[in-house]
Every structure is written in structure tokens, then in C-alpha cells.
Amino acid sequence: MTRAEQPTVVSPTSDALAADSRERAVRALLRVPPLKRLWSAQLVGGTGDALALLVLVLLSLQAAVLEGSFGTGYRGAAFAVAAVFGARIISTLLFGAVLLGPLTSLTAPGGPVDRRWLMIGADGLRLLLLVVAPLWIDWTPSNALTMILVTVFVAGMAERLWTVAKESAAPALLPAPPIEGAAVRPLPDHLDALRRLSLRTDFAAVPLAAAVLLVATAIGSLLGSGLDWFSFHQAALGSYVAAGLFSASISTLYFLELPRTQTPRPRSPLEGLRRPSAGNGPDKGRTGSIPLIVATCAAVAGAVAAAAAVAVLHASDLGGGPVTLALLVLALTGGTGVGIRTAGKVLPTLSRRRMLSFATAVTGIALLTMGLVPDTATVVLLAVLAGYAAGVAANTGHVLVDQETEEARRTRITEHLQSVVRILIALGAVGGPLVAAAIGTHRLTIGDFVFAHGGAAFTLMLVGALLLPVAVIVLAKTDDRSGVPLRRDLREALRGGDPAVAPAANGFFIALEGGDGAGKSTQVEALAAWIRAKGHEVVVTREPGATPIGKRLRSILLDVSSAGLSNRAEALLYAADRAEHVDSVVRPALERGAVVISDRYIDSSVAYQGAGRDLAPTEIARISRWATSGLVPHLTVLLDVAPETARERFTEAPDRLESEPPEFHARVRSGFLTLAAADPTRYLVVDAAQEPEAITTVVRHRLDQVLPLSEAEIKAREEARRAAEEEARRRAEEEAARKAEEERLERERQEQLAKLRAEEEERKRREEEEARRREAERQAEEARQRAEEARLRAEEEAARKAEEERQRAEEARRVAEAERVRREAQEAAYEAEQERLRRQAEEESRLRKEAEVARLEKQRKAEEALLRAEAARRQAEAEAQAKARADAAAAEERARERAAREEEASALAARQEARARAAQEEESRLRQDSRGSSRSEAGGSGSGDEPAGPDNELTVPTPIVDPNEITQPVPAPGDPASGSGRGPWPSDQDETTVIPKFSDDSEETTVLPAVQDTGGGAGVRDSDPAGRVPRGIFRDERPAEGENERTRELPQVTDPHVEQQRPRRPRPDWAEETPLDDLPSLADELLGGYDDEGPESSGGRGRRPRR
């Protein structure tokens, strides 16, 4: 069956996924409803995330200008923008690469986190953050920038969580393979198509977000004309629109069902950062250009990212606002997207390697001019040009990388390229604002010329200038048309393209191209045999020499003798052979629906005569297109091999073309690669240095995807489908029969169970009736037994109660008797105790009375002794006064006598008067001194007649009488000792006792004057006072210790020179305080109080004698 005979109706999704191109496979994924719903949520959420990042950049710039967190002026604003991108990159790196393993475990089918609810939660969190973000400037102006940076970090974390959940859930939504499986051809790579769809969606969300920001900002400006809040918060409406997009994503995900099946793990964005190995080191590609191409693509991407990062600063320098920012971002990213999509149509005849260098240079020049031009409209147009050129460079770089690598390693090389590009984009996004902050604003004035630009403009100039040497290096290192001026290639590419070309509508045309010795003939035979085995009609042909005229032309062209043939004639001869070949062989075979395999076609002329002979490739291609009426192959297999390797394969004498120098064959090889890079969907580049079988396998793999099905294959597919359907029907019938048999057996089992259940129920009913009868009899018997037992228990209970009553009465009687005996014993003991206490009280009362009588007697005698001592003191004072008067009279008499003598001795009057005055003064001084010493002795010893006691005499403390203390009988005093004295001594009963006081070492005990006995009686007082007082008055002897008596001692007496209040003995608890306590006692009346001591008695502790 030919292509025209194949059905053109829309096939199911699974058939569409098996399309003949990767682009159609990506579009076919969107026909799966769950995948389309998930893709819609990704597109809406991705647009909201990109819009949120732009809005947060604007808010951070506004907060930095108001707050000055990173410094005032231009540098502070640039640092704030860099901080926003840095926070986003850190969160993406942390949760997208570092913590990817734990997050994958959490979102796995057996993990604790549901993927759908995780995505809904991440969208909900970002919704809340974007609703609150514009309000931080109003709520916390001093911390607004900090809160915005936290918002950026959390939003980046939520985006990574959403992406991880999506990448682990999306493979589960892929459709199942067709029923016939891979019986006819290999199945398409669903996961690769899904990854490319996700990558394109993420990139498309950025220009969409810029467009949404442009519209939202324009609407916000209209609202700001009436509401001041929107004029101050110009980015607020964009923030709320982003929140609305997240809510739309939530509503989409809420109705999406995600199967919990095992899926491939999510891949880290930096997983392919290390370049794959080719066995002998990192893979550098066929020509060793992969490292340079990857670096060029990454440099262009980093430059565009830096330009987009400083766009907000450059918009401010141009006098714009959020609208200008949205236009610049839209121009840069949207232009890049358009350039990627249309790169294949830009100068298709120009070498792709030269196109990469040219696009890089245009990007650099556009960015450099953006920094120089101060006009906003021109800057936007230049941004569009820079973005478009960057997109062309990116697409061309991808095509060249695919061309340099084998298909088996192409996926890993592409991942490496994308990882490096992501790294450079991150560095450009952070480094651009930092460079702008480092440069700052500058103004240069030279006459009328003013050069004033901000740091963002200088950053654009710097980035654009750095791309120019990159373009030069790429051209120098990878140029495949060395020796041909670039301007000529550009002029020819701009002057016009090839005529309209199209593959044949019927059949399938395969062309094998490559240099001499690449192994085209071997592959033609192997492919022809393989395709015939599939049931196709195969026509094998070649150029030149496939027709009779072609053979003659071939002999002319390849004959060594035709070495002088001109280049143009050679090109025309090849074109003539091709025209005859197509009209007589190729088109008829294609119209029959056959598969035509041609060894060489138009590309050989373009490569050999265009690149090798230094002719214009566009002219060669135009002649060939005209000769073939625009017929191009469906698939061109380019067998790429180094000229040195190909020359080693020559087994015959080389012809005219094979005899060309190696430089010619190198240019031919570059020409082939340039053509393949211009249309990668129609070309398959295979490394011809491999084994022929490996080359055939690669080509067959590609043909399995694009070669139409033959009638045999269609029949085989139909047979496989019928067999699969028959097998499915058979399995269904077997399953139905099995289920029917199971149902029959289950039904019989249920019937048997029902019968058994009925019999069991009948048996149970009879058993229950018998059991009820037996139970009734048993209950009746138990009732009789219970009645009998109750009667017996009642009788036993009555007897037991009677016995208990008797025992209780007996016990009560015993207890009462014991209680009576105990009470009588207690009463007797109480009475005996009371009698004892009474006798003891009487005895104590008698003893207290006796002690009171003795105490009163003792007190009376002490008072009488004190009275006698006072009388003696007064009598001594009277005698002293009388003696003083007598002395005064004698002195007066002597004074009169002296006066008489002074009158008689007039000659000596003056001198005697002086002597008398001096003597009187001396006498007066001596009298004062003697009076002072007499006063001191009187204060310390009581009287000048009695000698003072010794310094080491023991001071006996004055006894303290306790009212409750039993007074000890005072012993009779002894006989007085003999001694000197005036007058007779009184009796022992009339003798006044001198009570010594305790003194310190610096004090003396004052001795009271002796009392003269007026009653007569001779006797001499003893010098020892202890012999003249009753025993027990002084405490120098240890009193007899009674049963309940203890003699108390007075406390130590402090120094009398220190004025302080003596501590008073606390009043006993039994003593009652009365108003008479403050009155002076009898001792105070007789001896005077302690306060009566004057300065004369400061030398001792005795009381001052009353006068």
C-alpha cells in the first residue's frame, strides 16, 4: 500500500503518538484529556509563578528605595534586585537538587504525601503570599524588603514542590501502548516527548507573564487615576492577577485524578551538568566542537538573562516603570521563543556553524546598542532583535549538538547542554544587577555631548561586548567553509533561497549521502534487503549513472582524463544527469508507491561543487532544484566519516573526484554537515566510522519511525491486531467461561449452603424447642429447689440470728461488766491521784508560805540594815561638815593673825602680799586638787575615813529573789573581829552590812562609812565585811542546792563610761503589769536610782551618798 492508499482519517491517540516526527508526538500528547488538564494547570501556574517573580522584583525595588536596606541610591536598588534573584535561585537549588531525593520519596506512590494535594497546597501557599506581598510596604515599612525576600524564597520552594509532584505524576497519565504492541514497529518515546513538552511550557510561561504584567499594569494605571493606593502600588494589581492564576490552577487540579502508580523519578535540573563520556574521555563530538558550542549557547543564554535581570533598573533609568519592564522582558523572552521556532527558515543556505557565530554577534551588537541608546522605543526594538538572534543561536546550537553526536548519546548531550545553560542563566540573573551596582551611574559631558547612563546600561554594553569575541572564537574554531568569505555567504543567503521543494506524495524516497569511502553502497544494499523483507517494492538507484545517458555522463565526470573540466560545466553535467534520473527512474517508482533508495542526490552536488569547488551553494542548489522540479527525499541519511578514514577504505584506483586533495574532501564533509544542520528533521547523520551493522541498525531504527507501512506490514499489523483481538477475545471467553463456571459452582454452593442452612435451622429449631422444654423443667425444678433452699435458709437465718442475738447480749453484758470494772478502777485511780495532788498542793502551799515568811523576814532585816547604814552615813556626813566648819574657823583665825602681821610688816607688805597671793593661789590649786581627789575617793570608796578595798577583792552579785523561790534560812553572823575604830561597835543585829558591787578591773568597790553605835558598848569593828553580815548575803560561797532551787546570777556590768541603756530583765509570764510598776521602790528611795550617779562617781560603781 502506498502513502496515497493509506487511510487519512484521524487515528486514536496511541497512533498519533507513533507519528513520524517528534513534533507531532509532542502535540499528540495534548490529545490525552488528563495530560491536557495537567498541562493546562502547568501553563497557568507557570505563568503565575513568572508573573509573581516580576512583581516581587518591582516590590523589592520599591521597598529598597523607601527603606534603604542595602544602601541609598542606585547601588541599593541594584543589590535589592540581585537579592531577589539570589533568593529564588537558592530555593530552586535547595529543593530542586539538594533535597530532591527526600521529596521524591515523600511523593512516591507509597509515600505519605498525595501528589495532587501537594500541588494544590503549593498553589494555595503562593496564592496567599501574592495576596499579602503588596501590603508589606504599608504594614512594616522598615522590614518590607526582608518580608519580600522571604516571600520569594517560599514561593520558589512551593514551585519546586509543585514541579517534583508534577514530574512524578505525569508519566502515570501517558496512554497505554497499542494492542499489537511493538510487533510491527518500535513504540515512540513517550517520556522524551513529555519532557520536551514540559520544557517548552516552562519557557513559554515567561513571555506570557510579561504580557499579563503589561496588561495588568496598564489597568492599574487607569485605576490609579481615581485611587491613590493603586498609583503608589503599581505592581499590586499584577500580584493579585498572579494570585488569580494560582487559584485557576487549583481549580484545574481539583478535578484531576492522578493514579498512584510507580513512575520514573523526577530529574534534577543539574543532573546532566557533567558531559557524557565517549569511552576515551568526555564526548567532544565528531569534529570536537561540542564544548565550544555548548559554551556559546550558555553564554548567549546568560547574556539574555543578565539583560532581563537589569531590565527593571534600565526601565527606571529610561524614565519608565512596570510597563517598560514588561515590554523589555516580553521583547527579550518572546523574541527568543520566536527565534527558536523560526531558526530553520533564517538564511537556510547559510552554514549552520556560521549561522551560530552570526546570531551570537547580532545578539551582542543588539545588547550593546541597547545600553547606548536612551530612547525607550528604540531600546524595546533592539531587545526584540537581541531576543530573536539569541533564539536563533540557541536553536542552531541544539541542531549542531545533535549533528555532532550519535543518536544513542544525543539525549545525554542535550541534558548536558540544558544544565550548563541553566547555570549561566542563574549566574547572569544574579551577576547582572551586581555588576550594575558595582558600576553605578556615570555622567560624561564633552561640550554639547552628554554621556549619562546608569549601571544597567553599562551592564548591557559590557554583556554585549563580551559576546562579540565569543562569536569570533566560534567562527574561527568551527567554521566549515574556511577560505570562503563570510560576506559572500551572507550575500548569497540574503539574495534568495531555493525554489519551493516538497517530497513526493506517493512512495518513499531515501537518499544516502556522504564522502567517498563512507560505505554508501553497502548500506544501500543492506537497507534494500531489509525494506524488501518488510514487503515494500524497492528501487535502488544511484547518481550519476542510473540511466543510459547517466552512464555516459558518469564516464565523463569520473574519468581521470576529464581533469580539465570546468567547475560550472561539472555542476551542469551533474544537474543534467539528475534531471534524467528523476524523470526516468525516481518519479515513476514513487508514483507506483515504491521505496526508492538513491546513492547520492542533490546534496552531493551542493557539497562537492558548492563547498568543494568553491562555487555558490545556493546556485548549485537552485540548478538542482530546477532540474528535479523541487523533488527532495523524505529522508536523507548522511554517512559522516573523516576523509583520512575514507581514503583507507579505497580498494580500487581512485577516480577523478577521489583523487582530489584532502582539503577538498574536508570542505565536502563540512558542506554535507551544513546541509544536515539546516534541516535536522529530514536528515539522519550517522557516524560512518562504525561497523556497517551498527550503521544499519541506526538507520533502521529511524526508518521504523518514518517509513510508511507496506501492504505486508499492514496485513501483519492487521493480523497482529486480529491475533491480539482474538487472543483478547479468547481470553475474554475463557474469562467469561471461567466466571460462568465459577458462578455456577458458586450458585450450586450457595444452594447447597441454603439447603444445609435450612436443615441446620430446622435442627436448631428442634433443639431449641427441646432446650426450651428442658429449660422449663429445669427452671421449675430450680424454682422448687430454690423455694426449699429459701425455707431452709430462712430457718437457718432465724436460728443464726437468735444465736447472734444471744451472743450479742452476752457480749454486751461482758462489755458492760468490764466497762464497770474499768470505770471503777479509773475512778479509784482518779480519786487517789486527786488525793495525792491535794496533799502535794497542801505541802507546796505550806512550803511556799514558809518560804514567803522567810523571804519577808529576810527582806525586813535587809531593809533595817539599809536604814541603819543610811543613818550612819548621815551621821558621818554631819561629823564631816562639823570638822569642815572647825577647820574653816581656824583658817579664818590664822588669816586674821596674818593680816595683823602684814600690817606690822609694811616694809615687806608688797613682797609678803605677793607671797601670800602666790601661796593663796598655790593653796587654792592644791585645795582644788585635793578636793578633786577626795571626791574621787568618796565616789569610789564611800568615805574618806575607811580605806578602799583591795583591787582583787571579789564582787559578789546582788541576789535576785524569785517570788516562787523558797527562802533559805539566814545563818547567824559570827563574832566581830577586833579592830580599830571610833566608839564602841554595835551588835551583830544592829550592824549595817556594806553590799559590794561587781565592778570591772578599772572600777573600785565603794565602802560605806562605819555606823557609830550610839547605844554604847565597846568593841572594835572587824576589817572583813564578811564577818559583819549574815551569811548568804554575799554569794562568794556556794549555797545549798535545794530540790527545785537554782541561784541566778546578775549579768556582767558594762563600762560605766559608755552611755547605754541597761537591758532589763523580761517580765515573767506570771507577773501582771500594774500602774505601780513605774513608781520608785524602797531601795530606790534609800539608795537612789542608777540615773542619780553624777560625774563625781564616775570612778566607781557605788551610789552617790545622799546629802
What is the structure's pLDDT at 983? Answer: 42
Question: Which DSSP helix (H) or strand (E) runs through 639?
Answer: strand 635-640
- Among 951, 2, 165, CA closest to 506: 2
For the chain, give percent helix, strand, coil, nearest 5. 65, 5, 30
Q: What is the mean pLDDT of residues 610-616?
A: 76
Whether 1065 is covered by a domain: the verdict is yes
How far is the first Cα of the chain from the last one, in angstroms, to the nearest whole number? 166
Q: Mean pLDDT lowest for which of 294-303, 524-533, 899-908?
A: 899-908
- Better pLDDT: 1056 or 559: 559
Q: Is residue 113 part of a domain?
A: yes
Q: Does position 899 have pLDDT exceeding 60, yes or no?
A: yes
Does 1021 fall in a domain?
yes
Q: Average the pLDDT over each of 10-19, 395-404, 662-671, 862-871 and give the range with the smallest value.
A: 10-19
CB 103 within 8 Å of CB 25: no
| Residue 57 near residue 315 (C-beta atoms within 8 A) | no
Q: Do 681 and 715 reside in the same domain of the chain?
A: no
Q: Is the pLDDT of residue 511 over 90?
A: yes
**Residue 587 three-state SS:** helix
Cβ atoms within 10 Å of 85's Cβ, excluding its own: 25
Could you tell me the CATH number of the domain that includes residue 430? Answer: 1.20.1250.20
**Omega before 544 within 30 of 0, i.e. cis:** yes
CATH of the domain at 586: 3.40.50.300
Q: pTM of this prediction?
A: 0.58
Q: Residues 370, 307: contact at Cβ < 8 Å?
A: yes
My answer on whether 817 and 962 are in the same domain is no
Q: How far apart are CA 1015 and CA 984, in angstroms?
A: 9
Point out the domain boundary residue: 832, 850, 868: 850
Q: Which three cell numbers stand for residue 1073?
A: 503589769
Q: Are residues 1039 and 990 in the same domain?
A: yes
Query: Can you read off the three cell numbers belonging to residue 583?
Result: 524523470
Print burial letters for 22-53: b (CB count within 10 Å at least 16), e (below 16): eeebbebbeebebbebbbbbbbbbbbbbbbbb
Tell me the pLDDT band of 345, cut-offs 50, 70 and 90.
Answer: confident
Residue 879 lies in a domain: no
DSSP state of 282: B
Q: Are residues 115 and 243 in the same domain?
A: yes
Question: Cell numbers at residue 1027, please?
Answer: 564577818
Helix axes 376-404, 322-329, angle to 10 degrees: 30
**Same domain (yes/no): 435, 531:** no
Residue at a domain's end among 708, 726, 746: 708
Structure confidence at residue 11 as a pLDDT band (50, 70, 90):
very low
Residue where the block lists cell 510561561: 205
Whether residues 975 and 1052 share a domain: the answer is yes
Nearest to 203 by CA among 36, 367, 340: 340
Query: Which of 456-465, 881-890, 1035-1044 shows the lowest per-residue confidence on average (mean pLDDT)?
Result: 1035-1044
Give the integer Cα–Cα distance in Å for 40 and 28: 15
User: What number of other Cβ atoms are within 10 A of residue 990's Cβ?
Assistant: 15
Q: Do residue 627 and residue 666 come from a single domain?
A: yes
Give the 3-state secondary structure of 960-1012: CCCCCCCCCCCCCCCCCCCCCCCCCCCCCCCCCCCCCCCCCCCCECCCCCCCC
Surface-to-core class of residue 2, CB atoms within 10 Å of its CB (0-12 exposed, 13-18 middle, 19+ buried) = buried
Residue with cell 583665825: 893
Mean pLDDT within 845-850: 91
Residue-level pLDDT at 73: 81
- Cα 516 vs. chain centroid, distance in angstroms? 66
pLDDT value for 162: 94
Give me the domain span that covers residue 717: 710-850
* pLDDT grade for 1014, boundaries at 50, 70 and 90: very low
- pLDDT more than 70, % of the chain: 77
523 and 597 belong to one structural domain: yes
To the nearest 10°, the Cα dihedral for 653, 655, 660, 666?
Answer: -90
**Cβ atoms within 10 Å, residue 1054:** 11
Burial readout 314-331 (b: 16 or more C-beta within 10 A, e: otherwise): bbbbbebbbbbbbbbbbb
Tell me the per-residue pLDDT of 570-592, one tens digit each, with 9 for 90 and over: 888 888 888 888 999 999 999 98
The reply to whether 838 and 978 lie within a common domain is: no
Which of 130-134, 213-217, 227-231, 847-851 has the least mean pLDDT? Answer: 227-231
Q: Residue 343 falls within a domain, yes or no?
A: yes
Grid cell for residue 988: 551583830
What average pLDDT does the segment 440-450 reach?
73
Q: Is the pLDDT of residue 340 over 90?
A: yes
Q: Are residues 685 and 766 in the same domain?
A: no
Under the banding of pLDDT at 50, 70 and 90, the label for residue 906 is low
Query: Into how many domains does the chain fold?
Result: 5
In 3D, which of 863, 939, 962 has the Cα closest to residue 1096? 939
> Is residue 997 a part of any domain in this protein?
yes
Secondary structure class of 52 (helix, strand, coil) = helix
Same domain, 714 and 704: no
List all residues 6 or more positions away from 442 whose beta carbon is below 8 Å from its beta carbon: 451, 452, 453, 458
pLDDT of residue 17 exceeding 50, the answer is no
Asked whether the predicted pLDDT for residue 943 surpasses 70, the reply is no
Residue 975 in any domain: the answer is: yes
CA–CA distance, 407 with 973 (Å, rounded to integer): 146
Could you tell me which residue, 470 or 1101, shows the higher pLDDT? 470
Tell whether the model's pLDDT for residue 323 goes beyond 80. Answer: yes
Q: How far apart are CA 701 and CA 185, in angstroms?
A: 9
Mean pLDDT of the chain: 80
In degrees, rounded to 5, the angle at the alpha carbon of residue 299 between the alpha carbons of residues 296 and 300 is 90
CA angle (489, 492, 497) in 5-degree steps: 120
Question: What is the Cβ-side half-sphere exposure of residue 1011, based on CA atoms within 13 angstroms?
Answer: 22
Q: Which of 121-125, 210-214, 664-668, 1073-1077 has the lowest mean pLDDT?
A: 1073-1077
Higher pLDDT, 502 or 1091: 502
Could you tell me if residue 199 is inside a domain?
Answer: yes
Q: For residues 25, 28, 34 and 37, what is the CA-based torsion angle, rounded to 10 degrees?
A: 100
Same domain (yes/no): 466, 512: no
Residue 1047 has pLDDT above 70, yes or no: no
| Residue 445, beta-bridge partner list | 450
CA–CA dist 224, 762 (Å, integer): 90
As a whole number of angstroms, the distance between CA 859 and CA 856 comes to 5
Q: What is the rounded distance in angstroms from the CA atom of residue 474 to the CA atom of residue 490? A: 17
Q: Is 71 left (phi over 0), alpha (psi -120 to 50) or beta?
A: left
Of 799, 821, 850, the domain-final residue: 850
DSSP sequence for 738-797 = HHHHHHHHHHHHHHHHHHHHHHHHHHHHHHHHHHHHHHHHHHHHHHHHHHHHHHHHHHHH
Beta-sheet strand order (sheet of 635-640): 538-542, 595-599, 508-514, 635-640, 683-687
Give yes or no for a contact between 1004 and 948, defined as CB atoms under 8 angstroms apart.
Answer: yes
Residue 543 to residues 511, 555, 603, 650, Cα–Cα distance (Å): 10, 12, 11, 19
φ, ψ at 969 (rounded to 5°): -65, 130
Question: CA 868, CA 991: separation in Å to the nearest integer?
Answer: 7
